[in-house]
């Protein structure tokens, strides 16, 4: 089967790439990191200007009505630029939650506001992937109690989509009584993540579908994290190859040494197959729901392992310079580390894949 991006998707990729090249150079990423800001207003404004806040929102609600594969194309470019801007929760998971489980009235109220940039959403569904130390969120009579860990696109969010212990999704105003917001520090300073401590906070439930919508959000999130890692890994390979062609040692560029050639070739050989898998996983999400969860697991587990290798090897090609802030490789290195673990590391994701295929018992 021939599979590739359409001309429109290639145009989207190029448009986003040019936008980020202009608004998100490495110096800007470094400046945001130094000031402790995981959200760049400059980058957010540029992405909004090209309509990315409403990427998945149906046209009837003021969005572009595009697919998860389109979103994966965008995520790849964001990873490539290590862009400090919310996208995964704000532009993908929150609209999907409303489209999958929201009532007609909820969709009419919230989707146009997301598309226009009038509100910002975060998403807290880590509890449906795996429970940590008994921490969970319970819903009772329209109120949420408990702790929601690892809320995505946390900083500046006006509302959150929160998953409870049953897998049902709820729409929660960040300013509600009974909501304590705690920003968490991770290795990746270009991403905003936090914790919600809830004590009887009033929330608006979405449809009770037995957790199907929450599982679909998990799958979409895994695919988008894999796509982001794909872009970050490609950037690191390109930087390693360029450095190997410039750096001289013993009177020769180091790229002429067989050992360095092998390191660069091995990175490319492992990285390239990930691209087709990520694209297919995004395509399957919209066209083959029965297969979507499994290929999302495959995409995330493979990219998690491959791009950890790429991040380490690209840094080694740079030698001692690879560990300095001057070249900024650590931004991509840490981004890949974040993508690898959020919504399940490779071990957890492979366990889920085994359960989906009936190879192990459901936990």
Residue 312 vs residues 126, 242, 246: alpha-carbon distances, Å = 27, 16, 20
Residue 127 has what pLDDT?
Answer: 86
**37: pLDDT strictly greater than 70:** yes
- Same CATH fold assignment for domains 121-205 and 212-356: no
CATH superfamily of 7-94+104-115: Acyl-CoA dehydrogenase/oxidase, N-terminal domain (1.10.540.10)
pLDDT tens figures, 250-291: 888 877 788 999 999 999 999 999 999 999 999 999 999 889
Residue 228 has what pLDDT?
Answer: 98
pLDDT tens figures, 334-344: 999 999 999 99
Question: How is residue 132 annotated by DSSP?
Answer: B
How far is residue 13's CA from residue 92's CA, in Å, rounded to a whole number? 16
For 313-333, letters b (16+ CB in 10 Å) and e give bbbebbeeebeeeeebbbbbb
**What would the mean pLDDT of 211-221 be, rounded to a whole number?**
96
**What would the mean pLDDT of 209-215 be, rounded to a whole number?**
93
pTM confidence score: 0.95
CATH superfamily of 121-205: Butyryl-CoA Dehydrogenase, subunit A, domain 2 (2.40.110.10)
pLDDT tens figures, 289-334: 889 999 999 999 999 999 999 999 999 999 888 888 888 999 999 9
**1: pLDDT strictly greater than 60:** no
Domain residue limits, the chain: 7-94+104-115, 121-205, 212-356
How far is residue 290's CA from residue 296's CA, in Å, rounded to a whole number? 11
In the structure encoding, which two tokens stand for residue 237, read together? 């390979």
Domain 212-356 has CATH 3.20.20.60: no
Lowest mean pLDDT across 26-35, 113-122, 142-151, 249-258: 249-258
How far is residue 322's CA from residue 336's CA, in Å, rounded to a whole number? 16
pLDDT tens figures, 128-138: 887 777 778 99
Task: Tell me the backbone φ, ψ of residue 125, rounded to 5 degrees.
Answer: -125, 15
Residue 108 has what pLDDT?
Answer: 97
**Residues 67/284, Cβ–Cβ less than 8 Å:** no
């Amino acid at each position: 089967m021939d599979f590739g991006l359409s001309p429109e998707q290639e145009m989207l990729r190029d448009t986003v790439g040019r936008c980020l090249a202009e608004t998100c150079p490495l110096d800007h990423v470094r400046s945001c990191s130094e000031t402790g800001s995981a959200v760049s207003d400059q980058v957010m404004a540029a992405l909004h200007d090209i309509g990315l806040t409403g990427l998945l929102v149906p046209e009837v609600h003021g969005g572009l009505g595009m697919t998860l594969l389109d979103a994966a194309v965008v995520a790849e470019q964001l990873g490539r630029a290590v862009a400090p801007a919310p996208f995964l929760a704000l532009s993908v998971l929150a609209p999907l939650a409303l489209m999958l489980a929201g009532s007609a009235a909820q969709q009419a109220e919230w989707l146009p506001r997301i598309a226009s940039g009038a509100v910002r959403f975060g998403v807290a569904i880590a509890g449906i992937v795996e429970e940590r130390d008994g921490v969970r969120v319970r819903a009772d009579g329209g109120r949420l109690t408990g702790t929601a860990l690892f809320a995505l696109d946390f900083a500046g969010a006006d509302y959150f989509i929160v998953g409870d212990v049953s897998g049902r999704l709820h729409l929660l105003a960040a300013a509600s009584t009974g909501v304590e917001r705690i920003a968490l520090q991770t290795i990746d300073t270009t991403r905003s993540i936090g914790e919600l401590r809830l004590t009887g906070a009033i929330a608006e439930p979405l449809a009770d579908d037995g957790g199907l919508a929450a599982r679909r959000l998990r799958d979409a999130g895994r695919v988008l994290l894999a796509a982001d890692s794909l872009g970050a890994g490609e950037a690191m390979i390109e930087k390693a190859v360029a450095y190997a062609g410039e750096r001289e040692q013993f009177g020769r560029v180091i790229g002429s040494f067989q050992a360095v050639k092998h390191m660069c070739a091995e990175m490319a050989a492992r990285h390239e197959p990930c691209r087709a898998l990520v694209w297919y996983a995004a395509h399957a999400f919209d066209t083959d729901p029965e297969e979507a969860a499994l290929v999302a697991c495959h995409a995330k587990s493979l990219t998690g392992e491959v791009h950890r290798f790429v991040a380490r090897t690209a840094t080694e090609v740079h030698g001692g310079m690879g560990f300095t802030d001057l070249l900024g490789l650590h931004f991509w290195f840490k981004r890949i580390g974040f993508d690898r673990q959020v919504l399940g590391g490779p071990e957890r994701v492979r366990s889920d894949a085994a359960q989906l295929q009936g190879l192990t018992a459901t936990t």
